[in-house]
């Protein structure tokens, strides 16, 4: 897959002359750039200052275009602005206030001495923090930078722009206050201990871009130590969207979801989570496949503890061999592995009207153009094809629901409920090229949040006074306090 074009803005001073701008445009296009916009910034008697927005292939191409502009007579290159860098200038998130401080009275309310009253209340009853502090709406986006997007182990600091982006999406889509927490530690126990010690100010933990198999250990130990939800989005967010999409894909092909024969290729963090959630949704015939073939107990190579557990829980027909053996007669292929690892000839051995989710990104296991006409439903991780499996459909609504319910954990039932809610958005518009809502569909978050919060309450995984009753309890407490103050005042009056 070629790199996505970048937009670069070149500020140039162009001497006013007949055809001067045309020569600049011709030079840029001759260098392979595509003019996307031109605007006069300002002008003087003999010169015009223009901002030229140009589509280029990459950084090297941007420099080539700049070199062409430098060589043009009557043109001076003044500045070059990279749209990507400009979007990240000084970071993408900030802290906002819910109340301004204009004078001594405001300061006395929000800080000393007024804040002491709130501190005492929380000391006496820690659940008051969910009503009286940011904890009720705060999520820590925690990483060690060991598995960042397609960049790999680049370290926590280099991962910060990604974590800021995650926090942006939580805020923009779910109204959740999220903040990046970078942990410079790859020992799982030390990492867990660090997160556990700083978790007190948050209502949830979003683990992000942590490599497998450490991510499984870290999430498991944090869930044991903390009484707030811990959610590794790379695992469970992907699994939830896959289940939602598969629910609707099964409908398109006239299958019962739990009757599907499913092959999951890739037994990393996402693959394991997908297998676990499909099992929680009632699908029994799941065959896991990795680079060494079908993951099954008798295999002699590549069976780490995670794969051994997966092998014991799946493959009820006890298949052996490789990818081709797993896919013969299968209804569904779910790939979370590597590029171009699924041949069309193998797809042809699947059941009639097969469902193929080729989620390797940016190059899928099989390209949609290759699979077209041979599959009934196709999904990828890419935005330039229908049915994009995108985690942004899941995590904002999930955390919104968990926080609304003041949930203490995340369960499989909550994840299944979230998947069902996402699938329901499609409704009567269901089609082979529309099995999942758009990542920008703002109707998704409220539906997912309600499903997650309702399930959390039904399971009893909430604190007293959670969700909608929080506001009512706060209001009742304020009314009680006001009533007691009135009674004390009346008593004092008559005592006098």
C-alpha dist (Å) from residue 57 to 12, 291, 390, 448, 488: 21, 33, 25, 38, 74
Burial of 189 (0-12, 13-18, 19+ CB in 10 A): exposed
Q: Which one, of 306, 305, 266, 273, lies nearest residue 289 by Cα?
A: 266
Rounded distance between C-alpha atoms, residue 168 and residue 88, angstroms: 12
Question: Among the options 10, 130, 135, 166, which is catalytic?
Answer: 166
Find the angle CA(327)-CA(333)-CA(339) to the nearest 5 degrees: 100
Helix (H) or strand (E) holding 360: none
Residue 252, number of CB atoms within 10 A of its CB: 17
- Helix (H), strand (E) at residue 399: helix 395-404
CA angle 368, 373, 378 (to 5 degrees): 40
Residue in the block written with tokens 């802290």: 95
Q: Which two tokens stand for residue 163?
A: 């974590």
Could you tell me the two tokens for 484? Answer: 């007691």
Residues in Cβ contact with 31 at an 8 Å cutoff, skipping those fewer than 6 apart: 64, 65, 68
Query: Residue holding tokens 């995590």?
Result: 395
Q: Write phi, then psi, for 143 (nearest 5 degrees).
A: -150, 160
List residues bridging with 49 in a β-sheet.
13, 42
The backbone torsions φ and ψ at residue 78, rounded to the nearest 5 degrees and listed phi first, read -100, -35
**Residue among 255, 249, 286, 258 at smallest CA distance from 389:** 249
Asked if 312 is an active-site residue, the reply is no
Q: Which residues contact 289 (CB under 8 A, 6 or more apart)?
A: 263, 264, 265, 266, 267, 295, 322, 323, 326
Q: Is 434 marked active-site? A: no
Yes or no: say if 357 and 388 are a contact pair by the CB < 8 Å rule: no
- As a whole number of angstroms, the distance between CA 57 and CA 49 comes to 25
Which strands, in side-by-side order, build the sheet including 355-358?
293-294, 286-290, 262-265, 332-335, 355-358, 377-380
Spell out where 96-160 has E strands: 138-143
Cα 336 to the center of its chain, rounded Å: 16
Q: Which residues form the catalytic set?
A: 111, 166
């Amino acid at each position: 897959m070629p790199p996505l074009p970048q937009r670069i803005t070149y500020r140039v001073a162009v001497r006013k002359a007949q055809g001067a701008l045309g020569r600049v445009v011709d030079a840029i296009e001759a260098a392979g750039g595509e003019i996307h916009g031109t605007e006069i910034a300002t002008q003087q008697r003999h010169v015009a200052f223009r901002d030229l927005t140009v589509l280029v292939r990459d950084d090297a191409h941007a420099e080539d275009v700049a070199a062409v502009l430098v060589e043009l007579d009557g043109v001076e290159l003044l500045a070059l602005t990279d749209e990507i860098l400009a979007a990240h200038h000084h970071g993408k998130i900030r802290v906002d206030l819910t109340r301004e401080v204009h004078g001594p009275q405001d300061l006395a309310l929000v800080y000393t001495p007024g804040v002491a009253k709130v501190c005492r209340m929380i000391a006496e009853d820690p659940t008051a923090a969910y009503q009286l502090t940011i904890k009720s709406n705060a999520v820590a986006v925690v990483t060690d930078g060991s598995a960042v997007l397609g960049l790999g182990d680049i370290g926590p600091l280099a991962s910060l722009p990604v974590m800021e982006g995650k926090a942006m999406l939580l805020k923009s889509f779910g109204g959740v206050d999220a903040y990046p927490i970078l942990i410079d530690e790859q020992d799982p126990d030390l990492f867990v201990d660090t997160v556990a010690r700083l978790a007190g100010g948050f209502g949830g933990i979003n683990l992000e871009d942590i490599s497998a198999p450490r991510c499984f250990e870290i999430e498991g130990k944090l869930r044991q130590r903390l009484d707030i939800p811990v959610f590794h989005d790379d695992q469970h967010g992907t699994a939830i969207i896959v289940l939602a999409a598969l629910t609707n894909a099964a409908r398109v092909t006239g299958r019962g979801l739990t009757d599907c024969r499913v092959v999951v290729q890739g037994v990393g963090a996402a693959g394991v989570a997908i297998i676990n959630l499909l099992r929680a949704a009632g699908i029994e015939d799941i065959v896991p496949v990795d680079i060494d073939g079908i993951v099954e107990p008798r295999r002699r190579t590549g069976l780490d503890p995670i794969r051994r557990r997966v092998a014991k829980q799946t493959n009820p027909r006890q298949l052996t061999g490789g990818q081709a053996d797993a896919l013969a007669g299968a209804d569904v292929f779910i790939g979370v592995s590597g590029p171009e690892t699924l041949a069309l000839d193998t797809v042809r051995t699947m059941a009639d009207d097969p469902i193929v989710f080729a989620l390797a990104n940016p190059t899928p296991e099989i390209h949609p153009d290759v699979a077209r006409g041979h599959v009934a439903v196709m999904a990828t991780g890419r935005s330039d094809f229908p049915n994009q499996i995108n985690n942004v459909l899941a995590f904002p609504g999930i955390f919104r629901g968990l926080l609304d319910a003041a949930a203490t954990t995340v369960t499989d039932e909550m994840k299944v409920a979230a998947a069902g809610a996402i699938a329901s958005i499609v409704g009567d518009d269901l089609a082979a090229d529309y099995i999942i809502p758009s990542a920008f569909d703002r109707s998704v978050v409220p539906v997912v949040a309600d499903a997650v919060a309702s399930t959390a309450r039904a399971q009893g995984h909430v604190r007293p006074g959670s969700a909608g009753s929080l506001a009512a309890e706060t209001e009742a407490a304020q009314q009680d306090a006001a009533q007691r103050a009135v009674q004390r005042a009346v008593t004092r009056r008559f005592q006098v």
